[in-house]
Amino acid sequence: MNRVLIQDRLTGCLFLLPLLAYGLGNALFDAALKTTTVADPVLIAAGTLLWILNAVTVVAVAAILYPLLQQYSKAVAAAYLAARLMEAVLLLMGMFALRAGIHTELTPEPMFRNAALFFYRDCYQVAMLLLGTGSMAFCGLLCRHRLLPLSWSVWGFAGYGFLAAGAVAELCGLHWGLYASIPGGLFELTLGIRLIGRGWNRL
């Protein structure tokens, strides 16, 4: 197996891993938030580790793509890396705020809990806005240089556009973010599978 295909398969795995890590971590934190007693520290610790893994992975996928993308556009390669780095930082900031708002042995005052949860939600939505806009540039490059079939690149561009629009809507108090994230999430899922199986279209 040549090195290029191995790298493409690793990139595919890195697209899939955040979906799993963030989804499981979110389920654990959600369970901890819903408890009416002291939250299970095991749930909090496991959720924290999964979200840290997610943050590391989203930066890793941009880092491993950087040499490929800069062959076509240094500006897009840098923008995509910066967007995913800021996404990771914001998600981690939100995670620590969420941890502060969960019932623990040092249960915070309700006002503090509410402020922590609002900060977490805002961090998440700004992270999704950055991910969406940075990934639209990424998909535009894929389209121009046919690294993916045209239909796939258009799907990704539209999906990330919906994600960014949904994040703006959420920040404005309109709860459309979950639905708007579905096309982009499905794109990343299928892109990861495609890269594992076939890799990028290369000249």
Convert the pLDDT of each residue in 100-153 to its tens digit.
877 654 555 667 777 888 999 999 999 999 999 999 999 999 999 999 999 999
Distances, alpha carbon 61 to alpha carbons 14, 51, 90, 165, in Å: 6, 15, 17, 23
User: Residue 28 and residue 22: Cα distance in Å, rounded?
Assistant: 10
- This prediction's pTM: 0.91
In-domain check, residue 31: yes
Q: Which pLDDT belongs to residue 103?
A: 63
Domain range enclosing 96: 3-197
As a whole number, mean pLDDT of residues 161-185 equals 94
As a whole number, mean pLDDT of residues 157-166 equals 97
**What mean pLDDT, rounded, does the chain reach?**
90
Q: Which pLDDT belongs to residue 126?
A: 97
Number of domains composing the chain: 1
- Min mean pLDDT across 34-43, 142-151, 152-161 is at 34-43
In-domain check, residue 203: no
Query: Which has the higher per-residue pLDDT, 143 or 38?
Result: 143
Percent of the chain clearing pLDDT 70 (strictly above): 93
Is the alpha carbon torsion for 108, 110, 114, 117 positive or negative? positive
User: Residue 56 and residue 50: Cα distance in Å, rounded?
Assistant: 10
Residues 193 and 16 sit within 8 Å (Cβ to Cβ): yes
User: Residue 98 and residue 143: Cα distance in Å, rounded?
Assistant: 38
Q: Which pLDDT belongs to residue 203?
A: 55
Q: Which pLDDT belongs to residue 196?
A: 95
In-domain check, residue 202: no
In-domain check, residue 111: yes
pLDDT band, residue 37 (cuts 50/70/90): low
